[in-house]
Amino acid sequence: IAQGLVGLRNLGNTCFMNSILQCLSNTQSLRDYCLHNSHRRDLNNNNHTNTALMEEFAKLIQTMWTSSSSEAVSPSEFKTQIQRFAPRFVGYNQQDAQEFLRFLLDGLHNEVNRVTVRPRGNMEDFDHLPDEEKGKKMWAKYLEREDSKIVDLFVGQLKSSLTCSECGYCSTVFDPFWDLSLPIAKKGYGEVSLMDCMRLFTKEDVLDGDEKPTCYRCKARRRCTKKFTVQKFPKILVLHLKRFSEARIRTSKLSTFVNFPMKDLDLREFASDRSSSAVYNLYAVSNHSGTTMGGHYTAYCCNPENGEWYTYNDSRVTPMSASQVRSSDAYVLFYERPAARHCLEAMIDGGGAWSARNAFSN
């Protein structure tokens, strides 16, 4: 039987945590990083006083993937550490799964950051460079400070372009992102697609009135349009569907059915550079059922070993059909860009019209 099919005990309203932990446990590269103890090397190079969050996380993942029994595991040691890092998770209140994910990834990242001495902030600007190069420089600058396995996997880069409606001057800003929070598109009634939500997120916005920015060329406040494109797609793309009016004070929930593809989510139309590879497959979903504070979180994950889907409801793990994964409760979606190696294997197997073998023959 497949490994990794181990439930997590609910310690009292901790289903939000369990749901996210299961999604991360089924994130193959992160799981392998823990299973192979690769995190130790990064911890050793780091002189931060406390590295217990990463250690407890890795220990938990190891237990989940090497346990010979299918009995549920208690994440209480891990919870102690996440509370130390983020005191807001002290106690047993229901929390928002996406916020928890952000805190957790940030905490793990800090403990395995390969950067031990951060360079002094310098005010170097790259505004004179073409956009493509400016994006690369900004990314390199980010890596000088934040560089870890977590960043390798989850972090991408967004470009926002501000265009002056007077003179047409376009200024650009590049920012790293750890996930994308997508507004839910409205279409009268019925379902919307994930692409509709992506289009709404990247839709051109007009900044006018009080919001008018200062145009660099006109040297005056002007009406501008603002638009996002993705400059760099991460290996793991986390998409958060903004179902709640506000994460902390949840006053209402949208239960719109957002239809999303399980395979070949093609996001190239949102790329700054259309030639970048931006096709993803779904491998995990954090499901929120119920209303605002009173709900319950579960996870659906595709086991990286056998490719089958399972439902993780705290301590219970049950097989499910891939056809059930899409529901109006999907809340946080985990997509992965298939590794290039898979494509090569497919070619070597003769799966494609062009086979690697042909490239080497005569």
Ligand X SMILES: *[C@@H]1O[C@H](CO)[C@@H](O)[C@H](O)[C@H]1NC(C)=O
Note the residues at the interface with ligand X (CB under 6 A): 47, 116-117, 287, 289, 298, 300, 311, 313, 316, 327, 329
Inter-residue long-range contacts of 259-264, CB under 8 Å, 24+ positions, other chains counted: 259/191, 259/192, 259/193, 259/194, 259/326, 260/193, 260/194, 260/326, 260/330, 260/333, 261/194, 262/322, 262/325, 262/326
For residue 236, the surrounding DSSP H or E stretch is strand 236-241
Choosing from 15, 164, 197, 301, the catalytic residue is 15
* Orientation of helix 52-66 relative to helix 28-35, angle to 10°: 100
Select 188 or 294, whichever has its Cβ closest to ligand X.
294
The residues near 6 (Cβ < 8 Å, ≥ 6 apart) are 63, 64, 65, 67, 70, 71, 72, 73, 317
Residue nearest to ligand X (CB): 289
Select 113 or 231, whichever has its Cβ closest to ligand X.
113
Structure tokens at 29: 């590269």
Choosing from 167, 240, 296, 342, the catalytic residue is 296
| Least separation in angstroms between CB 5 and ligand X | 14
| Least separation in angstroms between CB 15 and ligand X | 9
Select 47 or 69, whichever has its Cβ closest to ligand X.
47
Contact 321, 327 (CB under 8 A): no
301 counts as catalytic: no
15 counts as catalytic: yes
- Number of CB atoms found within 10 A of residue 329's CB: 21
Select 272 or 287, whichever has its Cβ closest to ligand X.
287
| Least separation in angstroms between CB 115 and ligand X | 7
What are the distances in angstroms from CA 87 to CA 91, 129, 238? 9, 43, 24
| Least separation in angstroms between CB 29 and ligand X | 25
**Is residue 100 left, alpha or beta, with left meaning phi > 0 and alpha meaning psi from -120 to 50?**
alpha
Select 44 or 361, whichever has its Cβ closest to ligand X.
44
| Least separation in angstroms between CB 249 and ligand X | 22
Catalytic residues: 15, 296
